[in-house]
Amino acid sequence: MTLERFIQLWTHRYHKYTHILKAHLLGYKAWVHFRFIKLGLRKDQPLIAIIRTEHFGDIVAAEPISRYVRLLYPSAYIVWFVKPAFHELVDFNTSIDETFREFCVSQRKVLMQSEVFDKVFQLQFLNNNHCPKCDVYVENPVAQQRRISIFNYFSFGNLLEVFSQAGDLIPERSAFPGDDQPRLYLQPEHVAKADSLKLPAKFIVLHCQSNYAPKDWPADRWEQLVAWLTDHYDYKIVEIGLKSNLSVKTDAYINLCGKLSILETAEVIRRAAFFIGLDSGPSHLGNATGTFGVILMGALNEFSEYNPYSGGYGREENAVFVRQPGIPCSQLSFGFVQEKVQEVLKSNRP
């Protein structure tokens, strides 16, 4: 072994084991915190954990579960576990008493082994919770029993139904029994941020890149769509997301990629006439804010057709799915997408 390789190996081990140590210490610290919380609760107030830590579209899709659990346990102290990057989606939820910003799954594993919580609703399915630094998987026993995994989960329904089944809130392959329309809890600061952008009176929001390449539509076709929209309609085009991969030169296009928080993005989507995008986190924001959606979808892995949404998008009351059975999103032609978008704009839905 060379000296350079030796240093790399021990540097990796140092970071891994200090991370694991920190996770365990934070787990014990969290146990102390929740023990004190529990001491202050009445006997009829269970301490409940809901675990859905990522991704942000999944957290939005799972939001009705918070209201359903509150309905089932009106006096409970309910804690939602989430990764720090997504805490704002939970912080303002009026059905949740506390947002727990999870450091990693090892921290949660230590905390759950303490059995401080009276009830735990794990919304993860198999192979869905992993810390790459610890190299630790935490599996959900209900998902194991029901065989709900990352490879087959859409066989069990939309995301809300899948999470509810994985959490043992509903029987296997059954519909969600409560209000299934996802909600967001926008605050004055999110409205103020959108006000500061001086958005045009009429605009369409685009989201052109997901976090999973098989769900994407090629950039050149998005550029064609922007050109066609700006040539034929008086809408401005506002792109949102982490970053843009488009090359667009028109005064009718506004690039807000990377400039907004999740809930600031939601407020921008809420003000739009239409949302045109992919099956991704921002489309769940569109569903939750009530903006009519045009969603480009295709075959995904083993699923030739699937529907991740509940509520208005899920029933296609407030959305149109642009797809062809068995064809990936990347292979949808510009002409096919253009035709579907034109049909929506002609209907003048807003």
- At residue 239 the predicted structure's pLDDT band, cuts being 50, 70 and 90, is very high
SS3 state at 275: strand
The answer to whether residue 276 scores a pLDDT higher than 90 is yes
Q: Tell me, what's the pLDDT at 59?
A: 98
The answer to whether residue 350 scores a pLDDT higher than 60 is no
User: Residues of the chain with pLDDT > 70: what percent?
Assistant: 97
What is the pLDDT of the chain when averaged over all its residues?
Answer: 94
d(Cα 189, Cα 191) in Å, to the nearest integer? 5
Q: Tell me, what's the pLDDT at 128?
A: 84
Which two tokens mark 219? 């950039």
* Structural domains of the chain, ranges and CATH numbers in brackets: 3-166 (3.40.50), 188-347 (3.40.50.2000)
- At residue 314 the predicted structure's pLDDT band, cuts being 50, 70 and 90, is very high
The answer to whether residue 348 scores a pLDDT higher than 70 is no
Of the candidates 178, 170, 73, the residue with the CA atom closest to the CA atom of residue 123: 170
The answer to whether residue 14 scores a pLDDT higher than 90 is no
**CA 125 to centroid of chain Cα atoms:** 15
d(Cα 168, Cα 141) in Å, to the nearest integer? 10
User: Could you report the per-residue pLDDT of 186-211, keeping only the tens digit for each?
Assistant: 999 999 999 999 999 999 999 999 98
Name the burial class of residue 332, with classes exposed (0-12), middle (13-18) and buried (19+) by CB atoms within 10 angstroms of its CB.
buried
Q: 137 forms bridges with which residues in the sheet?
A: 130
